[in-house]
Chain A
Amino acid sequence: MSEQQKITIVQNILNANDGLAQQNRDQLLKARLFSINMMASPGAGKTTLIEKTLQAFTPDHRVLVIDGDIATTLDADRAAKAGASAIQINTGGDCHLDAIMLHRALSQVDLFNYDLLIVENVGNLVCPASFELGTERKVLIASVPEGDDKPHKYPGMYRGVDVVVLNKTDLLPYVDFNFEFFSKGLQVLNPNVQVIPLSCRTGEGLKDWFEWLGNELDEFRKNHC
């Protein structure tokens, strides 16, 4: 006769990922490397914003870009061309980066050689939110043509991010985008989160983004000497 037994566990399913994310965080802290995880739907303008950011920051900062994509190295090539050291992670079909993938990428370089790490997550508005990577800050890039209802439809993504960039504001005259409806959705999920509207195309608002990033960077380095 076999014996039956119930075992109570109550364990977060993504425990293993969260544990590794913590290791990444420790490793980045040790190297005093400030890091951001950029998440957005496909085509929202992640790589374009990274290029603009590199133009502004590479003169004074050593920047490492890690690019997650299902296949191809196009985005890493663009980052390298714009003056960063760039590593491409091909997820081979996975819809998001996870802490293990970032861990492997981090071990390819000497982290002490950099001041700013930008991680471009896979373009996807559902999955990356569940997988902590261990970066210091999480950035969500929304864009005007996606529509003002995205926070209402993809609530998971907007919870827990530290700042929301609203890109492609140059398209506002051509699209019905109700900024109030968008912001109210954000407020539900993430009260008091800062929204930075900008256009990578015209450059309008970019200085607000650079200011946010610069302040965060300075703050981080002050707190981790």
Chain B
Amino acid sequence: MSCPSAEELSALYDGVVPRDAARALREHLSTCPRCAQEFATLHRLLKVAARPAVPAGLAQRARGLTRSSPPGKSIRPEQRLSRQKPRSLSRR
């Protein structure tokens, strides 16, 4: 099988994948270092204990994401968002 999607991997992690599909996923993980690593990383991420306080400015900037053309300060992500083309596509 090809490498599982984020949806499949996270469902396997939560133990909600039907039995046969889960077996196939496990089989894949035990032979694919990339996916095994992905799974292990997911596990570590979900055990993040430190919860640093969210900076006040971040919440505000996150809210700014919905405005299509905000009064920009510098090269802030709000502006990047207003670009039509997703940057990941435009670069490749």
A binds B: no
> Which B residues contact A (CB, under 8 angstroms)?
none
> Which A residues contact B (CB, under 8 angstroms)?
none
